[in-house]
């Protein structure tokens, strides 16, 4: 997909939900002559992938993880502070950006699902390519709705039928469960079409199985919910059986990571990308070429066991050094951050000493699914039931294997394995709903926030399970779109 993104981005950025069938695609081509070749489908698919590298999805979507206990927001944006302290205003523009661009992905995917069969009927594409592209379209639509499901709970579901009927001003779905059922149905279709093995820059069946497993775990709202925990185990086992973990943890986040089977879905990027405001540049000190947001807290740093190689890959602290190309070893000093730490997982430099903002960013890794399956096994069968999978993840850490691991051991492993990858707050919400944590008490502990936020960062359920919908969208809907009930003034 990487080779096509720059070509397509101008098209995608000017495409909205209400003109997908009339858009002026790729130069002066029209809808009548566009959907005629395999190349047309590939280009359209690249446009759907390309959205994830924009500022709205590659950077702003991270701000919702500020609400967890791994890092402080840093920076000087009032909108980030609102989100982090659970005081989001429905007019916060960062709600708008992530929400809008997910629908751009959905719009692009719908266009492929509607028009792809026309290319097939013309005999212009073979079965293997056609199935792969259609499967990826179903997955990308599902993944966009998955992120909306995690963040907002209930949103409008716009399908091919809505597009063909020119229906866009529609109510949000009746419940988060309805939205998750739609996502699962799309993922089932994707699994039936996608290849097992990823082609670099695209997804295979593993990405769809991974999202399904996550949804089942979010649906398991009781600690020992037999139905959804068993579904998570069944689905997740497909990932365990077919997608081995990488031998080297660092390799997952460095150049060439698109060839690793563990990386199920990654955001492709390169040094020539027109929008460099992505995850790799979002974090880290400004003097080092980054934007200076999301500084890890001592509470996360202290979570790592002595000798865990994941700590040095994930976090750099005051007094430690980074090799920055021709600049040599550069020390992380106390003037760089407020917490004394930076996320190091996505930092890299070229030989000339410039920050390498061309890294491919993993969105889904098999290790997450291994740990979700282990969690489901522990919750159903007790301590020790997830040991094999936990130890499979720990094998590359330099640590001894565990024995008789309980739910607290699983939570520890999940936290240090996935730190800085946009999972922590959503996992905390799952664990609150399952009765494992009381987030109102847990997130109020002083060590879970920077000192200036003590007394200001107050979690309250059920309101803070989900974010509000963007107020302007509600105002423009003429009463059709309603605000999430806990956020109505």
pLDDT digits (tens, 9 = 90+) for 258-287: 999 999 999 888 766 544 546 778 889 999
Q: How many CA atoms lie within 13 A of 29 on its CB side?
A: 12
Asked whether the predicted pLDDT for residue 54 surpasses 90, the reply is no
Nearest-10 Cα torsion for 202, 430, 313, 378:
-100
* 238 HSE (CA, 13 A, CB side): 18
The pLDDT of residue 1 is 37
pLDDT band, very low/low/confident/very high, at 464 (cuts 50, 70, 90): very high
- Nearest Cα neighbor of 268 from 40, 53, 10, 27 is 53
The C-alpha atoms of residue 157 and residue 143 are separated, in whole angstroms, by 13
User: Looking at 96-100, 116-120, 402-406, which range is the least confident one?
Assistant: 96-100
Whether the CB-CB separation of 350 and 365 falls below 8 Å is answered with no
Q: What are the residues facing 29 on neighbouring strands?
A: 25
Q: Phi/psi of residue 264, each to 5°?
A: -80, -30
Longest dimension (CA), the chain: 64
Domain annotation for the chain: domains and CATH numbers: 2-65+91-220 (1.25.40.390), 279-356 (no CATH)
Q: State the Cα–Cα distance between residues 403 and 392, nearest whole angstrom.
A: 12
Q: Stretch 439-452: mean pLDDT, rounded?
A: 96
Q: What is the pLDDT of residues 405-428, one digit of tens each?
A: 999 999 999 999 999 999 999 999
pLDDT at 354 over 60: yes
Average pLDDT, the chain: 91
* pLDDT at position 27 over 90: no
Query: What confidence score (pLDDT) does residue 279 get?
Result: 72
Which candidate, 300, 284, 335, places its Cα nearest to that of 447?
Answer: 300
Q: What percent of the chain has pLDDT over 70?
A: 91
Mean pLDDT, residues 221-238: 98
pLDDT, average across residues 297-315: 98
Q: What is the pLDDT of residue 8?
A: 34
Identify the residue with better confidence: 131 or 75: 131
Per DSSP, the three-state class of 153 is coil
Residue 223: pLDDT over 90: yes
Residue 374, pLDDT above cutoff 80: yes
Does the reported pTM lie above 0.85?
Answer: yes
pLDDT reported for residue 285: 94
pLDDT at 18: 36
At 40, the pLDDT band (50, 70, 90 cuts) reads very high
Residue 7 has pLDDT above 60, yes or no: no
Provide CB contacts within 8 A for 444, sequence distance 6+: 457, 458, 459
């Amino acid at each position: 997909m990487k080779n096509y993104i720059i070509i397509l981005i101008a098209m995608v950025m000017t495409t909205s939900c209400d003109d997908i069938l009339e858009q002026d695609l790729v130069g002066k081509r029209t809808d009548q002559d566009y959907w005629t070749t395999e190349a047309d489908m590939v280009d359209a698919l690249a446009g759907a992938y390309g959205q994830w590298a924009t500022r709205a999805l590659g950077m702003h979507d991270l701000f919702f993880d500020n609400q967890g206990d791994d890092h402080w927001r840093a920076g000087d944006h009032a909108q980030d502070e609102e989100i982090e302290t659970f005081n989001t205003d429905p007019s916060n523009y960062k709600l708008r950006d992530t929400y809008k661009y997910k629908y751009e992905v959905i719009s692009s995917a719908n266009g492929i699902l509607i028009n792809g069969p026309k290319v097939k009927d013309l005999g212009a594409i073979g079965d293997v390519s056609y199935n792969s592209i259609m499967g990826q379209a179903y997955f990308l639509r599902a993944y966009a709705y998955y992120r909306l499901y995690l963040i907002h709970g209930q949103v409008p579901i716009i399908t091919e039928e809505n597009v063909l009927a020119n229906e866009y001003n529609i109510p949000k779905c009746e419940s988060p469960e309805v939205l998750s059922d739609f996502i699962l149905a799309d993922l089932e279709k994707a699994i039936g079409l996608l290849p097992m093995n990823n082609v670099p820059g695209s997804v295979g069946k593993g990405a769809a199985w991974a999202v399904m497993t996550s949804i089942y775990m979010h649906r398991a709202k009781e600690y020992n919910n037999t139905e959804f925990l068993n579904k998570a185990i069944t689905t997740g086992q497909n990932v365990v059986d077919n997608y081995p973990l990488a031998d080297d943890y660092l390799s997952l986040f460095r150049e060439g990571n698109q060839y690793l089977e563990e990386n199920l879905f990654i955001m492709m990027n390169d040094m020539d990308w027109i929008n460099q405001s992505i995850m790799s540049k979002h974090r880290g000190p400004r003097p080092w070429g980054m934007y200076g947001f999301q500084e890890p807290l001592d509470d996360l740093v202290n979570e790592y066991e002595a000798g865990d190689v994941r700590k040095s890959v994930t976090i750099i602290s005051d007094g430690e050094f980074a090799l920055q190309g021709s600049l040599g070893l550069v020390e992380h000093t106390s003037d760089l951050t407020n917490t004394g730490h930076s996320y190091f997982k996505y930092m890299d430099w070229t030989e000339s000493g410039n920050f390498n903002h061309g890294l491919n960013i993993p969105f889904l890794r098999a290790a997450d699914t291994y740990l979700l399956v282990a969690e489901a096994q522990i919750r159903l069968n007790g301590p020790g039931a997830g040991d094999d999978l936990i130890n499979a993840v720990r094998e590359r850490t330099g640590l001894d294997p565990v024995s008789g691991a309980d739910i607290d051991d699983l939570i520890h492993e999940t936290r240090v394995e996935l730190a800085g990858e946009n999972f922590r707050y959503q996992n905390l919400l799952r664990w609150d709903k399952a009765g494992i944590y009381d987030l109102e008490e847990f997130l109020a502990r002083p060590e879970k926030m920077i000192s200036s936020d003590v007394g200001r960062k107050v979690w309250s359920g059920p309101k803070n399970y989900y974010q509000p919908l963007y107020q302007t969208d509600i105002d423009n809907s003429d009463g059709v779109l309603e605000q999430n009930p806990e956020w109505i003034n």
